[in-house]
Chain A
Amino acid sequence: MARLQLSSPDQPLPIRLLLALYEVLASVYLAVSLLLLLAFVLAWATFVESWYGTEAVHFAIYDAWWFSALLGLLGINVLCAALIRFPWRRYQTGFLITHAGILVLLVGCIYSAVAGIDAQMPIFEGGINHLAFEDTRHFELKIYPDQSADGSYQVIDVPFASGPFNWADYEHRPFFPWRLGHRDQGLICNQNGVQLKVLDCYRDWTDPAVKPLTIRAAVPEKGSDELGAFEAVELEVRTMGVGQRGGPRVSGARERLSSGVRFVFWVAQSRAESEAFRLTTPDGPLGELGQIVLYARGQVFRFAVDELKPGGRLPLGETGYEVEFVNSSPAFLGLELRIHPPHGESQRMILFAEVPEFNVQATDHGVYGSYWIDAGSAAARHMAEAAESLHNPSEPRIDVIQTGEETLLYRVWQSPQMAEVGDLPVGQHVKVSLERSQRTMEFYVETFEPHQQPGIRIVPQPFDKDASPSMKAPQALIELTVDGNTETFWLESQHSGQMDSPPSETQRRVVIGNDRRVEVTLVPDSVDVGFHVYLDKFQRKLDPGTSMASHYSSLVDFVTVKMDPETKEEVRDETIEEGVLITLNEPITRTDPGTGRSFRMYQEAFRGPFKPGGEDGVYDAKLGGRVLHRETMPRDELFLSWLTVNYDPGRGLKYFGSMMIVAGIATMFYMRAYFFRRHSSGHTRTTQ
């Protein structure tokens, strides 16, 4: 076929240029170059996948703008090649159908990529779900106004694409323009005084078990002024309450010198807590049951416990907050309070006089407290006898905290008064005069490894493509500013498998602003499919003689839900459709009545069987003692089924395009017009 020439010298220059461009875009030279370039890029991509894993190659190539541009250019080339041959001749029918099919296929792919959904829905047997989770994540900012009468709040979702690697790793990875991939860095949200900055992100991290803080301290012998040898105190943070998700999770460390001086260490969760650490010192006589000192909105409030009555509420100055005294536990020298905001939900606070590292603070409201009791009081003496670790409460206790800026603060508690409060730089010697024994002890911080989260050190792990990315919970270092109040902290992402339980302490943070507080979590993107799925039974067939599951399927009901008044959980209400089987390779289609999107649901994977009394405890937690709908006896095993929920709006186009390609090629063969007419060169033709 001769080269198609549209432009000619007699046309005006702009037209000529345009036509020349058209010719280039339609040229077979461009087609061949693009095909080979694309083949090269794709080949390269498979190597990148082999080295760095599937997520990385999607990030850097398949999902990158320049790759889309390349495909787009190919599409334009195909389009122009077809258009430039207008008016078409009969023998070109197959060629046209095929090239149009390629275009339709490309358009379908683009449409799917833009509007499609590919998500996973986990359901336990006997459980109900309507949310499907995607591989991507977003920050969820919940803004609770102090003055909200009905407890309503505003939610801002901030998409967060973190990329496949720890952020430090992007600089030194060879063979790749990783920086061309899209990551959400820096300021990603700025709305009405709420600013969210992402400073760093670890996709893979570990919590190395090291002792974060080594303090060396020396105390003179009794009756002497000479300091003894410096004795090392290694403070290793222990965490309590990890097992119960959503429950209080506190962590701290304590060690005692041979002389009886105690060191206590914990990690402050916010700037306000560090501030409160300095300010919530006792004042005046402590009374028999001691004094609580609360910090709220920069102010300090002191209450004598002797005067508090259970159930009584006291205002915290002009802040609008109230503190309710719930009860005290003299056996542990602890007491429980509730902090009531002007509106909205109250929060529990538990304070211990002797083990302040395990205090539970009202972090959501920015209220922090300390509980002080005179070691000479009856209650304190009783406690000291009972607990070996609190031995000799008359010796000073030195509290050390790590602030939000990863520096250290200390305070010296010499019952019944606070002796000193101050900064504690590494290496600087601090002298503490022990009033009771008339001596001066000395200590300094020898080594300090900051904790990024209460009880956790987050250390980046080198990239490992075989590490399963879906099981890793990324950590993001974020800076959240609310009304000028800035907090910087690491936040752990929630995993889609845990979304039915509330976030843990490391997965949510609250920053207090003026008249409002903002809670931030990092959660998987989810899709509400618009209908509720109840998993009646998960069925698994095993292959004879091997332990491979040969077929698995989920038998589901589509139901409506209602709230169980007792457990506050969603339970099935009315049945819409019963006994629908979703099995491997046999998806079902169901339409969201709200949006009209037609979802397909596939059986993807499963976990289990969980058995009664199993070590994982899943069965006992989810189903223990319960009998499922329509059954009389309990299940002997419980499965968690993962369904793929897929919405592919471009599917029709893709099928149609594929059909056109096939039909076009068939036409070419049928019409014997092949791809192109046989192109013979002059010096071969003459021989035939």
Chain B
Amino acid sequence: MPFSYPASRTRTRDKVLAGGTLSAARRSRIGWPTVLLLLAAVCMAGSPRLAHGGEDHPLDFTAWQHLPVFYNGRMMPLNTFARLTVESVCDRANPRLSLDGVSDAGRQIPAFAETEKMFPDEAKAFTASEMLFSWMVEPERWEYVPFLIAEHEELRKDVFNLPVRSLKGKHLKYVSPYDVENSKGFDRALRSLAEKRRGLPGKNANLTSAERAVEQLYQAYMTYRSVSYDPFRDEPRKFMEALTAAADAWNASAQAWVNSREALEAVAPDIYGDDFDGQIEGVRGSIAAVGEVSKSGSVDPREAERLLAETARQAGSLAAQADQGMKEVFAGKCPPAVSEAQWKHLRNQSHIISNGAAELVVAVQQAQLTLYDSQKALRLLPGLNPAALEKNRDSEDDAQPWVSLETVLFSGDDVYRTFIRPDLLRVDGAPISPAEGMTRLEFLQQLASEGNPARKERVAFAEAAAAYLDRGAGDRAERFYSAMERFAAELRALGESIEPARTDLALRHPDEKLIEVTAYPPPGSTDAEVHYYRLDPFLWSWVLSFLALCCLAAALGAIRSPMYWTGMALLIAGQVFSVYGFVLRTYITGWAPVTNMFETVVFVALVTAILGLWFALSPLFGPGLHRAWRMTAMPGTPESGTLDDEDLAMMNAGTWTGIRAAMMIPRAGLVYYVFHLLTQVEYGVGTGYAIIRLLPRGASMNDQVVWLVGLSMLAMALWLVPRLVLTAALGVVTLPWSIYQSGLGNLLQKAMDRKAFAAVGAGTAFGVGLIAYYAPIWDANINPLMPVLRDNFWLTMHVLTITASYGAGFLAWGLGIAAMAYYVLGQYRDPLAPSPAHVAQGHRPAHGYQAPPESFHRRVPEQCVSLSGFIYKAIQVAVVLLAAGTILGGLWADVSWGRFWGWDSKEVWALISLLIYVGILHFRFTGVLRDFALAAGAVFGITSIVMAWWGVNFFLGSGLHSYGNGAGGGWFVLGFTAFNAAAVFAGAIRYLSETGGAATPVPAESRLPDGAMPKPQ
């Protein structure tokens, strides 16, 4: 265990915790000390991963982790499902558990010895997927193990009456399912919570932290119960719901039948006769019989399975007849004795009956399926569930296209045949139920040996379970590995064999798209996601940015170019990791990765770093790119006319024209390609519109103008985009050329002068990336995107641009903070009196030749001057991106909802940010306070971006951009703002006091040499 605390340090830390000063830190996922330790670990070992506990034979869970699972509307590897589940149960994905907090009642049970074997080294760090597996195969042992999150002190003490610390002084975070079930205090707390919630329907009740902890624990408990659902013991909630739905559907039919039996019989006697009445009666009896079995709150699945099969048969036949009857009635003519209104009513009655019967069939099927299924079941196989594959399926119910592990393992052959494998061979013998006191493993083994031998995946799973539980056995790892491999292979075979049967299902309106996306995925489809979580690229990204910051800071202190270049390399490497992370996320989800808060935060970190790099390195590649740009100018245009000396030094005018003409050929191709992309290719799922339409939508003036604007934008894009692409391509040649021409050393020196950009970029990228990674207020997991937002070109453009502007804003902020540091700590300089030589060269000093001494002020530190130039550039970029992003947002809103601007909070804050940054630029123009104001503006301006970004969703909680809504982080943001204010305040005091009074100028010759570092005063 390389990174556990030494005992003494643990105690000191707990003393601090007991003092209550670190309550906020406790709530975050990993405390700051751990972060720093982790960093150290990264430097030393290169791997942040915690190794497995002290087991002799580490098990290989790879096959298990890679199993495809269908959850929350998308396909994911089991690893991700396990992480999500375990995180909601234990509050972290890889919890470290021990038996310290086991209650006395738990310790007294005879099987506790077995439980102790789960923790051979007192404490054990579980990976999410192992934990999930363990829940599945030894649930009886987990009953007494504390692993449900209950960290809140009040919750432990007052509600559960449990200690906050163990005898060894360790902080206790968990309670066991046994504790939850048998605590009267928790029961009371839940009740009062429910009461409070009832009192404030539809609102966020102002819950205390203890109440939120109660709620979290309850969720954790329910999730655990749902995931480790035992069909033979647990309360079958979902099944009961399905049964109620069945009874309702039957009621609807039966009531309509009672109301209009005679009239219907007169119209269609061959259908609506005594036989039909008998069928309705028969179904009623069957449903009642199923109801009997499940009256006591628990249900015998085997018996229910038998009765439901009969009910399904009856309901199917009733539905067929009712459908036939409805069709006859609707095809028939109004009898003469009946009024038109009555006839309409009668037709509707026949429709109600047939509709009720059809719904009944579905409900009974769901009841069959839900016998072995729970809300958050681990679903790892597509199933033959017609209700889930219908286009017109009910959005209210929870019919799932995939079946649960419980169904695969425990269902009787009837249900298995109905929903998984219609061609399963029948074998003799009654369905097997667990005997009293049997463990999960024993039951699994009994099913494997005595059940249908054709269900091979069950046999393999039982073997894997047996191997897993055979702790201490020498061949455990090998046995587990081979059984798990077999289980995965069997599942794959099954999943692939189900596909033809799914497409052949008799569905009224099959949802082709759904069937397609829920098909058993090809091998390897889940690898990327497992890889993503294993690699954790965004962790590497901020770690590398941090190291880059360290190097660049060192390079600032004393000019040491190795440090500088190491820093730059690290910074680039960090951003490569970020980009790789985005590529992975995009590959996994299939949409642009800027659609939840976590992704935008990481994206901003990336943009800040890239902008920092771009500005810092622009002396290096700027001239080259500029030359490439000029090479792509169209011959004959004014642009192509001017060739300066450097251009001509490169090659003669004729060659320039020749290259420019040659460039027209690829450019024409690119123009066509961009034209095709923008005007021919359909975007979105809808009706085949391209991004820009070549024809106006309507005849009105308005539509014509919009059309013209569209064409202008098209023209701009056709002019610019191909040229940019060509420029980038030509850069491969021109870049080395221009570096060669100007001399590398010279350029490097220029780049080094701009190292502030890189350092600030690295620092900001590190800070933002760290927040993205550790802030507990957003979800870093890959989640399905709100369907409305998928495949939306304008949305993607808008969000990318806006978040990029945030990045530029943050870069400006970082530069502003750096400038403030210099304003506070830097070396202020004496004013210069102009030397006659300067004047003779045409220099006109601001203070005039004969200025009195009081008109001379001390000058700000030298770095502040260059920094304010950098800030100006960063703010310019922020303004351009903000303006473009806001306009793109308006465009998207207009295209989607028909309003360009609706004063939505998010829109308004984007506008405020724009106004503030534009205001800063204009303010600089007034000349008041000059460079200092620019830096102060950059520092304060970030507040508006933070509000637009975090505040609207997490603080104001209003408006249309609610898909990002969340809560928390308020104190952090307040602290951030206070820090900014303090920095500017400190800077202002020093700045005003230094430059406020008059000063005696020194002769120009005595100025400091360029590049000298200021010393703190």
Contact = CB atoms under 8 A, between A and B. Distances in A.
Contacts of B925: 1, 28, 675-676, 679
B203 A466 contact: yes
Interface string A539-583: 011111111111101000000000000100000000000000101
A636 B911 CA distance: 48
Contacts of A118: 898-899
B401 A545 contact: yes
B400 A545 contact: yes
B9 interface: no
Contacts of B398: 547
Contacts of B990: none
A586 B702 contact: no
Contact of B73 (A38, A49, A546, A653): A546
Q: 3 shortest A-B CB distances, which residue pairs?
A: A682-B846, A652-B705, A550-B787
Contacts of A550: 787-788, 790
Nearest to A601: B898
A384 B959 CA distance: 63
Contact of A45 (B348, B709, B903): B903
Interface string B816-847: 00000000000001011010001000010111
Interface in A73-128: 109, 112, 118
Interface stretch (B39-47, B481-489, B562-570, B679-687): B679-687
B351 A612 contact: yes
Interface string B674-715: 000000000011110100000001111111111011101100
Interface string A38-60: 11001101110110011001100
B845 A662 contact: no
Nearest to B872: A678
Q: Specify which of B699, B857, B876, B958 lies most central, judged by the most chain A CB atoms within 10 Å of its CB.
A: B958
Contacts of B359: 611
B924 to A, nearest CB: 7
A630 interface: no
Nearest to B913: A39
B936 to A, nearest CB: 13
A625 B401 contact: no
A45 B1004 CA distance: 53
A687 B887 contact: no
B956 A46 contact: yes
B347 A634 contact: yes
Contact of A686 (B256, B687, B927, B1004): B1004
A646 interface: yes
Contact of B687 (A50, A581, A666): A581
Given A39-B912, A634-B347, A665-B880, A58 B202 contact: no
Given A42-B915, A585-B792, 7 more contacts: A46-B908, A57-B903, A550-B790, A590-B698, A624-B351, A679-B925, A679-B930
A49 B256 contact: no
Given A613-B355, A684-B865, A543 B73 contact: yes
A649 B926 CA distance: 38
A603 to B, nearest CB: 10
A602 B897 contact: yes
Interface stretch (B387-395, B461-469, B574-582): B387-395
Nearest to A621: B348
Interface in B348-362: 348, 351-352, 355-356, 358-359
B898 A646 contact: yes
B922 A589 contact: no
A634 B843 CA distance: 91
B927 A659 contact: no
A600 B697 CA distance: 10
Interface string B956-988: 111100000000000000000000000000000
Interface of A: 1, 28-29, 31-32, 35-36, 38-39, 42-43, 45-47, 49-50, 53-54, 57-58, 62, 109, 112, 118, 466, 540-551, 553, 566, 581, 583-587, 589-591, 596-598, 600, 602, 604, 609, 611-613, 620, 624-627, 632-634, 636-637, 644, 646, 648-656, 658-659, 661-663, 665-666, 669, 674-676, 678-679, 681-688
Interface in B910-939: 911-912, 915-916, 918-919, 921-927, 930-931
A548 B786 CA distance: 8
**Chain B contact surface mostly:** helix
B720 to A, nearest CB: 9
A578 to B, nearest CB: 15
A634 B930 CA distance: 75
B514 interface: yes
B768 interface: no
A526 B970 CA distance: 44
Nearest to A41: B912
B900 A58 contact: no
A55 to B, nearest CB: 11
Contact of A627 (B330, B699, B790, B919): B330
B787 A549 contact: yes
B74 interface: yes
A49 B401 contact: no
Contacts of B959: 49, 54
21 contacts: A31-B922, A45-B903, A46-B905, A542-B514, A543-B73, A544-B513, A545-B74, A587-B895, A590-B698, A620-B348, A624-B351, A632-B330, A636-B355, A651-B702, A651-B894, A652-B702, A658-B890, A669-B880, A683-B856, A684-B859, A687-B829
Contacts of B423: none
Given A46-B905, A681-B846, A687-B862, A39 B887 contact: no
Interface string B489-533: 000000000000000000000010110011000000000000000
A16 to B, nearest CB: 23
A688 to B, nearest CB: 8
Contact of A584 (B517, B686, B702, B883): B686
Nearest to B858: A683
A681 B930 contact: yes
Contacts of A54: 958-959
A494 B677 CA distance: 49
B944 interface: yes
B704 A682 contact: no
A653 B709 CA distance: 10
B703 A598 contact: yes
Contact of A648 (B716, B900, B947): B900
A651 B685 CA distance: 25
Given A648-B899, A654-B890, A611 B355 contact: yes
A613 B256 contact: yes
Nearest to B329: A625
Contacts of B229: none
A661 B846 contact: no
B126 interface: no
A557 to B, nearest CB: 16
Given A545-B518, A684-B931, A674 B703 contact: no
